[in-house]
């Protein structure tokens, strides 16, 4: 029978790491994790502490021994620094024209006070290869020292991307995404909206208006949909609503050719089941739903009350749509502040997961 060795203590891991680094000059995060028998997330914590103590220097994909003092005083010799010494933090977001601009503004406004400069790149919601390409460019061309990112989270390729991101030798903060990695399902640091709570706000608002059959309609392509649906279901159960006889549909994207058929089918279900209110994710789907209601003679809110989720353009609809509004500016602001705390003199800092509550904005589409 083979007796396995007990895991190394944190101090022992760092001592072993330094010994290997002195012997080899540079080390990659994946090699360190394999040699020590720990997860990349654990390695990153050790690296953060050693870097904070000045014992090592982080580079793309790994670490090396520190440069001489003369070299470190040259801002052009240090990757990710501009004149003035502010480290560059990359930000990769899936959209530059919907939902994300306010998050970007929050991050940009917070960056100077946090002592960092933001380098923005746009990607897509589901193209794993493009996201990886953008991050690689930021690492190799800009020399970023931190990363804010909203990666794809669905599918095997997305899982591999997340594992790769968690193994980078720089602080990585997920924005409006959450994930776990490794055999112990360790959390990646994140700042996100409590979307389930947002759905709960919508349901409780509609229950307060007397609705007893509250449906749900959302795009199947949105990474936010599962959390919003969970909040709808849980709060419906808590308020004794029966969701089995109401609308519960995840649809193709509103630009999909099948969307209009799905929309009519959903409205048919509302009429057949007596559903009198519906939570719709996102604004675009909600506006399209209300327009189809008008065409079919279904009055909003008289026959069907509607609450949208996102509040990007909900207030511009006719009637103006009640909506759940994520605190997008605060999300971007908090993400930058979290990165700064990770970058500057907080060795050994535990992984943080910040959830920020959205708010309900009541407009004409749900008023009695």
DSSP state string for 201-242: HHHHHHHHTT-S-EEEEEETT-TTHHHHHHHHHHHHHHTT--
Distance between CA 190 and CA 52 in Å, rounded? 21
Ranges in the chain, pLDDT < 50: 1-4, 68-78, 82-83
| Model pLDDT, residue 24 | 67
What pLDDT score does 6 carry? Answer: 60
Q: Is 173 helix (H, G, I), strand (E, B) or coil?
A: strand
pTM of the entire predicted model: 0.78
Instruction: Identify the pLDDT of residue 3.
Output: 43
> Are the CB atoms for 150 and 92 separated by under 8 Å?
yes
Separation between Cα atoms, residue 365 and residue 361, nearest integer Å: 11
CA distance linking residue 269 with residue 247, whole number of Å: 6
The CB-side HSE value for 267 (13 A sphere, CA atoms) comes to 24
What confidence score (pLDDT) does residue 326 get? Answer: 98
What's residue 128's pLDDT?
95
Q: Where in the chain is the domain with CATH 1.10.10.10?
A: 1-66
Here the tokens at position 17 are: 């790491």
| CATH number belonging to domain 195-327+360-366 | 3.40.50.2300
Helix, strand or coil, per DSSP, at residue 222:
coil
**Separation between Cα atoms, residue 283 and residue 14, nearest integer Å:** 50
Residue 323 Cα to chain centre, angstroms? 20
pLDDT of residue 5: 52
Q: How far apart are CA 262 and CA 359, in angstroms?
A: 29
CB atoms within 10 A of CB 134: 19
CATH code assigned to 1-66: 1.10.10.10
CA dist., res. 146 & res. 173, Å (int): 8
Quote the pLDDT of residue 56.
Answer: 83
Would you state the pLDDT for residue 29?
Answer: 82
């Amino acid at each position: 029978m083979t007796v396995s060795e007990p895991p190394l203590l944190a101090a022992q891991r760092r001592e072993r790491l330094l010994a290997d680094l002195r012997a080899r000059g540079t080390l990659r995060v994946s090699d360190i994790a394999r040699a020590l028998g720990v997860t990349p997330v654990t390695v990153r914590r050790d690296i953060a502490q050693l870097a904070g103590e000045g014992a090592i220097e982080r580079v793309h994909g790994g670490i090396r021994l520190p440069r001489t003092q003369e070299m470190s005083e040259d801002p052009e010799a240090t990757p990710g620094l501009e004149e003035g010494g502010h480290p560059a933090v990359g930000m990769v977001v899936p959209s530059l024209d919907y939902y994300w601009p306010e998050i970007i503004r929050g991050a940009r406004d917070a960056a100077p006070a946090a002592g960092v400069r933001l380098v923005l790149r746009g990607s897509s919601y589901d193209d794993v290869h493009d996201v990886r390409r953008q991050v690689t460019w930021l690492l190799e061309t800009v020399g970023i020292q931190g990363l804010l990112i909203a990666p794809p989270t669905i599918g095997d390729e997305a899982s591999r991307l997340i594992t790769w991101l968690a193994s980078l030798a720089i602080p990585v903060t997920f924005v409006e995404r959450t994930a776990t990695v490794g055999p112990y399902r360790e959390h990646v640091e994140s700042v996100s909206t409590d979307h389930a709570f947002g759905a709960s706000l919508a349901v409780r608002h509609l229950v307060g208006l007397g609705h007893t059959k509250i449906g749900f309609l959302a795009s199947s392509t949105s990474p936010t949909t599962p959390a919003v649906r969970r909040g709808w279901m849980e709060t419906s159960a808590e308020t004794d609503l029966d969701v089995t006889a109401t609308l519960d549909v995840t649809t193709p994207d509103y630009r999909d050719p099948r969307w209009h058929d799905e929309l009519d089918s959903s409205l048919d279900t509302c009429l057949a089941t007596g559903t009198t209110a519906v939570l719709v994710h996102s604004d675009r789907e909600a506006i399209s739903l209300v327009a189809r209601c008008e065409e079919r003679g279904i009055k909003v809110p008289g026959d069907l009350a509607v609450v949208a989720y996102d509040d990007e353009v909900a207030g511009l609809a006719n009637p103006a749509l009640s909506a759940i509004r994520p605190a997008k500016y605060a999300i971007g602001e908090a993400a930058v502040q979290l990165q700064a705390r990770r970058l500057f003199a907080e060795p050994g800092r535990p992984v943080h997961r910040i959830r920020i509550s959205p708010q309900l904005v009541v407009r004409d589409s749900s008023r009695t």
